[in-house]
Structure 1
């Protein structure tokens, strides 16, 4: 039976076929596809196993130890291994997810469970689809492989890159319905050429290589999860940063001095005998007839927080804010000096309550930083260390002699960084150009500039330069496709 009526347009036929296959290509992987995957793995030998008896995948050494049985990637013996380790503790250039949801027998994308096909379709729509998909011909379960920029670790297998790989594997696997007991060591081999009836059928989808952080961010954005964003520099110059931190320190010292004065006023039963208190509030004065409203309110809120803690009661935001507002109102009544009330907005009052609670519980004055600028990032602290008085003098001494060993080493380091950045830029331009060529070869139509901007998260100028450097001439007069929400 035909998938669609013969009078149905080509567009409708493509849509229904995409729904049936989850957007996956049903063409079996070729030898050239496997050679391209081996080239990306960058390995001369792989640890393989001919069957599920993984104990036979190890050799006994002369000293009684065990060593992995390795196979050259260009040998026929590797094609007889139904299982292989595509990654190890120190190196990984692929991300493998084992999807444990059963479908139908057959070994084709159409036999995958509907839930898995729908999620593959979503990934492909966001340019996050897997590069390889292997399907079990018996039960419809599958494994998916993404090509990533290589990540490395030391002998212990620990590194930030490996931690990021584990996070990306977990998020992708959890969303796709992975096997939680999958060890991520031995997986089904896409290089198997034997005749086992249970061997996975492999289908190559594309050759795109993902940057691991971009892949993780894309998956989390698609699934609605919060993604970590690196803090951006808040200051335009080092001098501006230093002045902001100095102002922050002065505020902290001022609030700490107020809190130290409060400690002598914690005996609440003596307040009724204190003639300087007005409705239980000690008003601070700028001059005769003009009250310091903000300082008075903060001081009273801090004293209230100390009393709540001594009484064993909760220091809620509401209690601290009420004390602040009461003290501010009293100061306004007795010392307005013609000023209108300027009570801070509720968001700032909630921030004040958290600071009061933090200082009362930890007794650290640094909890009273400026609410406008926030805490300094690690990059900003490094800038402070470099541009401070001692740091500036020391740096000036080191650079005094431009031919010194220190200056030469720093220039060499900068030159290497610039070379690396240039290489990364060339690599990105080549990937963008290859993406355009792959798109026109698969669909018959050139992708748009806007689609490339979304796929690589770069500016339109970067895409145009990449296309121009590769000598690609895109057709003119095409309408820009709307951005994917």
Structure 2
């Protein structure tokens, strides 16, 4: 007989006998979750289904979590192989239909960290899990052991997991204290100048290396300002260079070699261009991610790309700058009203006239280029270039090209262009 398929999950009321006979249930959903589930596929080959009969390494980790009062609420043990499933009760997390949320992403990140700690199954789909309230005489059903009914916070579980794996993330907050608003503005300007310097280096790599890079102990140190080295950028570029050298020599691109090159270059840049900054080398987890990026770039033959941007303002700093900018604008508006013919108003009018003149010249140049391209095509008795082609060639939007063509009286034909045979 043909087996009946159920594309939709069955729904049962809590506490019914039908639900208690289910061995598998959906404990989590893409838009809602109140538990964190890990599937431990490491067998102990001890029959019985007791907690003490799980794999010894897993049992030792469970003991450590129990001492920290973060043991799972339920532990299910396979009575034949000693494999197990662990369930933590967590503060419910939600997301709108068809969307994600920061809390759901935190759940995914915490699950990933805890999977590393317990060496759980990374391919576990989390769609169907063992049901801890299952009741039947099936000899292969998991034996469940209730530990507590405590509801844990994801942030606490994440902190413990990262502590055990040693992958504590770097402190991304820059809670600098400034003596005045002017000092904060100057700090933001310095950060912007550093970012622009790195952008210039990335835009013209060969000449930038020759002009602003110093070869020190085999490491080409890049500078964002006199006496201030771009440590992360220098280290990443040196690691990428070593990656290409290893590939050329026919050697394997191992993480250890790439990370060693990164650390050496970072220490060299710190020694010659710290500029009063403390050593802030990224944690091992980020360095391993960097090594994977280097392997990918070397394998695909991509050019050097920036490791990461320069230091950014904290949330509090950005709000303070926005507030000062708002107040500065209000102050400027008052000066426009109270002294329309003063020095401040005259300087701003002069800047505005210069900016308008540059815009007019840019617009006239764009019109000339569009007209030249169209007339050149007509002189050769070929079809006029399309709006899309002109936009791609001149580096502007299609809407801007349409405006220019309308002003010139050279609008493109309506309708979709014919496909070429």
1:174 Cα deviation (Å)?
2.1
**How far apart, in 2, do the equivalents of 1:318 and 1:163 lie?**
39
Q: How do residues 52-451 of structure 1 correspond to structure 2 at under 5 angstroms?
A: 59=6, 66-103=7-44, 104-227=46-169, 229=171, 231=173, 233-235=175-177, 240=179, 242-248=181-187, 308-309=209-210, 347=270, 349-351=272-274, 375-390=312-327, 393=330
CA contact (8 A) 1:317 1:350 kept: no
TM-score relative to the length of structure 1: 0.45
Is the CA contact 2:78–2:84 (under 8 Å) kept in the aligned structure 1?
yes
Q: What RMSD in Å do the two structures reach over aligned CA positions?
A: 4.2
Checking the alignment, whether the CA contact within 8 Å between 1:385 and 1:391 is kept in structure 2 is no
Secondary structure of the structure 2 residue equivalent to 1:175: helix
Give the C-alpha shift of residue 346 in structure 1: 8.2
Deviation, structure 1 residue 392? 8.0
Cα deviation, residue 162, structure 1: 1.4
Q: Distance in 2 between matches of 1:253 and 1:187?
A: 50
Aligned to 1:207, the other structure's residue is in SS state coil
In structure 1, runs of 5+ residues without a counterpart are 1-54, 60-65, 264-304, 326-344, 355-360, 368-373, 395-485
- TM superposition score normalised by structure 2: 0.51
Question: CA separation in 2, counterparts of 1:311 and 1:137?
Answer: 66
After superposition, the Cα gap between the structure-2 partners of 1:124 and 1:157, relative to the gap in structure 1 and judged at 3 Å, is farther
CA offsets 1:144-175 (integer angstroms, 9 cap, x no match): 01111111112225222111111111111222
CA distance in 1, matches of 2:325, 2:40: 54
- Partner residue in 2 for 1:452: none
Mapped partners of 2:162, 2:64: distance in 1: 13
The 1:391–1:124 alpha-carbon spacing in structure 2 relative to 1, beyond 3 Å, is farther
How far does the alpha carbon of each residue in 1:55-91 deviate from its partner, in whole angstroms, 9 at most, with x for none?
96x74xxxxxx43211111221101111011111110
User: Partners in 1 of 2:75 and 2:20 — Cα distance?
Assistant: 18
Deviations 1:428-464 (A, max 9, x none): xxxxxxxxxxxxxxxxxxxxxxxxxxxxxxxxxxxxx
